[in-house]
Amino acid sequence: MKVQGPGKTQGPSKTNKKGKTSQSDSSFEDFVASGPSAAAPAAKTQSIARVDALLAVQAAEDPAAGASRKRMRKRANTILDELDRLRMAMLGGTMTVGHMVDIADVVAAHRENISDPALTAIMDEIDLRAQVELAKMRVALDKKAKP
């Protein structure tokens, strides 16, 4: 079809087909002539409201988990404060046996509440180092006490 301007159109031109149709053309004609095959019935869809409800339940915070997270944060801050106090004492040259005992006590008090293996390993390293330093200090004090 050719458009020549407003209101002037020509119909499609006719083409003359010469020769026989090929084998592929006839198989396509057979496919089209056979018609559509029986379609499978559509599956029932689930209500999106159910999915929304599940997502809402998952997003809701468990009050016990929130309280537990708050306690863990408080314990972590206590441990970090003690380590910072120990660091300042070491830098100032005023480290005492009491500092080491405090670190060992804090680590021992919070050890059973840790479920993360990486954090447990860190706490083990802190405890081991505190025990070694405590042993060194006790040996040094014993040497001073003996004349």
pLDDT of residue 49: 66
Distance CA 107, CA 123 (A): 7
Domain-located, residue 29: no
**87-144 tens-digit pLDDT:** 888 889 888 888 888 888 887 776 766 777 888 888 888 888 888 888 888 888 888 8
Domain-located, residue 84: yes
Domain-located, residue 113: yes
Domain-located, residue 38: no
What domain range is 140 assigned to? 63-145
Which among 101, 98, 118, 105 has a CA at the least distance from the CA of 78?
105
Count of structural domains within the chain: 1
| Helix residue ranges per DSSP H, 7-115 | 23-34, 48-59, 63-92, 97-110
pLDDT at 6 over 80: no
pLDDT of residue 98: 84
Domain-located, residue 28: no
Domain-located, residue 4: no
